[in-house]
Amino acid sequence: MTELTKRLRGTAAAEAPLVEDVFDDTYREKDGPKPPMQIVWRNVILMTLLHFGALYGLYLLPSTSVLTLAWSILCFLISALGVTAGAHRLWSHRSYKASLPLRIFLAIANSMAFQNDIYEWARDHRVHHKYSETDADPHNAVRGFFFAHIGWLLVRKHPDVIEKGQRLELSDLKQDQVVMFQRKHYKPSILLMCFIFPTVVPWYLWGESLWLAYFVPGLLRYALVLNATWLVNSAAHMWGNRPYDQHINPRENKFVAFSAIGEGFHNYHHTFPYDYATSEFGCRLNLTTCFIDMMCRLGLATDCKKVSREQVLARKQRTGDGSHRSG
């Protein structure tokens, strides 16, 4: 580690706001029967319609022009970054600092992904880290793949999720004007960024039909980003190695890392939630880390927090499952 990075890390640690994303082992689930599950039918209907729309988009895919296909991929990447580099690594974990223009870009990209506003996303995500695999975890993977993937969005939250979420210290989010602006204007922002913008651009610029543009870069792209994100909560909490901490559920899952542009190194991430790269391997299968590195080079991001190699090695030897030893 160079003297400069040491100094930068020191500064980042000293100035970093308190983020409650560390596992709290004092929490105990309440005894007795679990509260009954209450289905939110509105969400069930909307999610079903979206997925049928996305399947129809898949059917239209062979008749899509190269330009519209490229546009769909670009929209996928922008909306995914709004979640990974934005709501997740910046706003939930404060693992780096972003300048105003970058925060504005990430908030717009986040509206394109339409996964609840940044404030709500970051609050739920901090609760997920603090109370992983318990009743207070919004997408508790102990309740099975379906619940962790999408089911949690189709039922009312467990009372402990609500209670613990209300108790979190979220002043850093409340003080961020970009976060609060997006929250205030959330509905028009998703209408514009998630549905209208991806549809109108190919129609206006190269004469794509509005019908196809709505179903491919619109609905299909939206459903793919949603499912890629959900795989982090479902698959990456169930399948893969645990080289850093074998006592926790989250795992290293390369397929999830690929589809969620870098968020599948989940055993590492839950062990070191403040690391901006969410992996010890930098940009490998990790487009989000590449993006943040590029933003640093452009002077738009600073103070990336990184766990030292020695710390990672010591942790692997102390609590890992030994799966990295052969490598």
Task: State which of positions 169-228 bind Zn ion (CB under 5 A).
Answer: none
How many residues touch Zn ion under the rule CB under 5 A: the total is: 1
Options 107-115, 165-173, 200-208, 246-254: segment touching Zn ion (CB under 5 A): 246-254
- Which of 91, 214 has the CB closer to Zn ion? 91
Q: Which is nearer to Zn ion, 86 or 250 (CB)?
A: 250
CB 260 within 8 A of CB 228: yes
Q: Which residue is nearest to Zn ion (CB)?
A: 250
Stretch that binds Zn ion, among 61-69, 156-164, 250-258, 299-307 (CB under 5 A): 250-258
Q: Spell out a b/e string for 218-237, using b for 16 or more CB atoms within 10 Å of the CB, else e.
A: bbbbbbbbbbbbbbbbbbbb
Residue 228 Cβ vs Zn ion, minimum distance, rounded to whole Å: 14
Closest CB 110 distance from Zn ion, rounded Å: 15
3-state secondary structure of 130: helix
The least CB distance from residue 314 to Zn ion, in Å, is 22
Please state, in angstroms and rounded to a whole number, the distance separating the CA atoms of residues 240 and 255: 10
Contact criterion met (CB below 8 Å) for 275 and 305: yes
Give the integer Cα–Cα distance in Å for 89 and 93. Answer: 5
**Only segment of 154-162, 212-220, 242-250, 303-311 that touches Zn ion (CB under 5 A):** 242-250
Closest CA to 260 of 235, 223, 229: 229
- Specify the residue, 133 or 208, whose C-beta has the smaller distance to Zn ion: 133
Nearer to Zn ion, 95 or 189 (CB): 95
Contacts of residue 128, defined as CB under 8 A and 6 or more positions apart, other chains included, come to 137, 138, 139, 233
Closest distance of CB 237 from Zn ion, Å: 6
Question: Do 278 and 129 contact (CB within 8 A), yes or no?
Answer: no
Binding site for Zn ion (CB under 5 A): 250
